[in-house]
Structure 1
Amino acid sequence: MTGEPRSTQIVSNRNDTSAHRWAFLALLLGNVALAAGPFLVRHSGVGPVAAGFWRMALALPFLWLVALILRQPLRVPRIALVGAIALAAFFFAADLAAWHVGILLTKLGNATLFGNLSSFLFAAWGLWLARNWPTSVQALALALAALGCGLLMVGSAELSAAHLRGDLLCALAGLLYTFYLIFVERTRTELAPVPLLVLASLFGAAMLLPTALIGGEQIIPTDWTALFALALCSQVIGQGLLVYALGHVPPLIVGIAMLTQPALSALLGYLYYDEALTGLDWLGAMLIIIALILVRLRKPQRHAILPS
């Protein structure tokens, strides 16, 4: 053990591009998988909170198998770390409950866009953690990403009083998801990604099942296909790759990468619901891609240093 501070060692590990060269690709693939979430929730055949429960519960055996394959032992961490994971699970469970209910009360485009409020909040948290204002390139990337989201909203989403309740629930979900990402990003410095996700999924499922029962929701579906797809796509693949990337990719890049989800959801709507993609949709998607390229090409000079 060297005399180097633990926080500095963490930053050094994050910048080891040779060891973690696949983290950025994992981040993008994870967002592709997560973009299918709203579509699968609508076809789950159970209540919205129950869908969140099954998403986590059905994922557990698959995550356990992945942990065995990757040789990431499932061990009980120290008490303080368990508490942090439990808090992350609480915010994630609350996020899923709010978002899944919101998905059923508003348009698919609205649900995805408002739910990704966490993209900007998590990026802002990363800049605050680094104790640094965004560089000119970072500021341009954030502005382009925001403009891209705005164009997607004009093209795919629809603001109206009829959707207000669903929009507010999805925005609340985005706020809750930000806290989940923060706690996961911090715990990733001490725990491997798959064991962390197993514990978070276990805690989250235990929180959502009583909520669904109290709400009188349908718990057992007539067809399990959509629920297994939701568990595999959103929890095992999507969250698995995202949690892995959070250990190696700065929050600013993670935040902008998550903004690819609205564009992917718009494409999913085009493929499955015959929803037309306007020129504004394509332009918005292109601006988000350009923003991601900009922030990726020029990394911040100062990286976030996590407190010891």
Structure 2
Amino acid sequence: MASSTPTARAHMPKLAFPALILANLILPLGPVLVRLADVGPVAAAFWRLTLALPFLIFLALPGLRRTAPNLREWGALVWSGLFFAADLAAWHIGILYTNVTNATIFGNMSGLMLPIWGLVVLRQRLKRMQAVALTLAATGAAVMMGGSYELSPRYLHGDLLSLLAGALYTGYLLIVQDVRGRLDSWSVLAISSAVSAPPLLLCALWLGERIMPGDWTPLVVLALTSQLIGQGLLTYAIGWFTPLVLGLSLLLQPAVSAVLGWMLFGEWLSITDMVGTMAVAAALVLVRLPSRA
């Protein structure tokens, strides 16, 4: 994975950065919809992928005909699917044992893990403005964690599962970023989703979860928003940005989740949530300045 930095490209698409931000505004809907679904949490993850898969395959076919994965890329895509399946299983179970904000904070620890990977493993040197942005984002994340996180023994199980999901998601993103250097984004997402779905179904059956829903609405919305649109936008954008920018963008999700938790479940939205959100948003503006110069 040490080669997972995007190759420098002369002309970044104008929509790449808006797609990255929009993805991180849509993906926090996932925990809410998992709570509303009347199936088990891992079963919800299975349906998230399975219901989106026909659309993903349809969108992927032109790219697969143009550029078929080579043997190394097939191996990477299989690993990405397994990482994503493990991430979704851990996170969806964790969502039920903690509150929405905690689950999203720990589930998106990749927002800090990715910049650390770039600095330590890839040995990327930060420009001054990037260093300021990273410091500001880390401060904002710490403020959100300190203000939103509820230290409670009843949340410990869910918090640990969400933290595990964050680590697995970091691995998934690094693998996807690597293969996105040559492959079309829909091809990557379709193949990794197809690999992820069967392990999730087996896990749900092993846990004795309810598989068939009585109400399909939350699952259909979950598939369309989280997998097709949210993950689709993220997979498209991921090929254009360094781990630093990707990580900072992921820190938007706890902020959006805090607002959703407050609006839908009455989970308190404090002044620290607002301050942390503004700090992360400012960091995203700053980190884009050097690349525009």
> TM-score, normalised to structure 2's length?
0.92
Per the alignment, residue 133 of structure 2 pairs with: 141
Q: Deviations over 1:220-259 (max 9, x none)?
A: 1110111111111111011111011111122211110010
2: CA distance, partners of 1:159 / 1:196: 38
- Identical positions, percent: 48
8 A contact 2:137–2:279 mirrored in 1: yes
Matched, 1:169 2:165: no
CA distance in structure 1 between the partners assigned to 2:60 and 2:86 by the alignment: 26
Q: Residue 96 in 1 paired to residue 88 in 2?
A: yes
Give 1:16's match in structure 2, choosing from 11, 16, 19. Answer: 11
- How many residue pairs get matched? 288
Q: Residue type of the partner of 2:290?
A: R
Q: What residue identity is the alignment partner of 1:54?
A: W
Corresponding residue of 1:4:
none
Residue of structure 2 in register with 1:72 after alignment:
63
**Cα contact 1:112–1:262 (8 A) shared by 2:** yes
Give the structure 1 partner of residue 42 of structure 2. Answer: 49
Deviation at 1:35, TM superposition (A): 1.0
> What is the Cα deviation at residue 289 of structure 1?
0.5
SS of residue paired to 1:189: coil
> Which position in structure 2 is the counterpart of 1:251?
243
- Structure 1 Cα separation of the partners of residues 106 and 52 of structure 2: 26
After TM superposition, what 4+ stretches of structure 1 lie above 3 angstroms from structure 2? 65-68, 73-76, 127-130
Q: Distance in 2 between matches of 1:72 and 1:239?
A: 17
* Aligned 8 A contact 2:7 2:181 in 1: no
Residues 152, 284 of structure 1: 8 Å contact kept: yes
Whole-angstrom CA distance in 2 between matches of 1:244 and 1:64: 15
Q: For residue 159 of structure 1, what is the aligned residue in structure 2?
A: 151
Question: Shift of the alpha carbon at 1:130?
Answer: 4.5
Q: Which moved more, 1:196-205 or 1:71-80?
A: 71-80
Q: Find the aligned partners of 1:127 and 1:24 in 2 and give their Cα distance.
A: 21
What whole-Å deviation, never above 9, does each CA across 1:9-60 have from its counterpart, x for those lacking one? x6243x423xx12100000111111011110111121111111111111111
Letter in 2 for 1:211: C
The alpha-carbon deviation at position 270 of structure 1 amounts to 2.5
Deviation at 1:277, TM superposition (A): 2.3
Question: For residue 127 of structure 1, what is the aligned residue in structure 2?
Answer: 119
Does 1:116 pair with 2:108? yes
Using a 3 Å threshold, how does the CA distance of structure 1 residues 12 and 156 change in structure 2: closer, same or farther?
closer
Deviates more, 1:114-123 or 1:148-157: 148-157
Task: Assess if the C-alpha contact under 8 Å between 2:118 and 2:124 holds in 1.
Answer: no
1:151-300 to 2 correspondences below 5 Å: 151-299=143-291
Distance in structure 2 (CA, Å) of the matches to 1:88 and 1:191: 14
In 2, are the aligned partners of 1:93 and 1:205 still within 8 Å (CA)? yes
Normalised by the length of structure 1, the TM-score is 0.88
| Cα distance in structure 2, aligned partners of 1:275 and 1:158 | 11
What runs of 5+ residues in structure 1 fail to find an aligned partner?
Answer: 1-6, 302-308
Report the residue type matching 1:293 in the other structure.
V
Contact 1:108/1:157 (8 A) holds in 2: no
Q: Aligned partner of 1:11: which letter?
A: T
Q: Residue by residue, what CA displacement relative to the aligned partner does 1:150-187 show, whole Å, maximum 9, x if unpaired?
A: 22223322012221111111111000001000100001
* Aligned-residue RMSD, C-alpha: 2.0
What is the alpha-carbon distance in structure 1 between the residues aligned to residue 162 and residue 220 of structure 2?
23
Deviates more, 1:263-272 or 1:125-134: 125-134
Contact 2:35/2:96, CA 8 A, preserved across alignment? yes
Residue 36 of structure 1: aligned partner: 29
Distance 1:260 1:155 in 2: 15
The aligned amino acid for 1:43 is L
Distance 1:54 1:214, change over 3 A: same
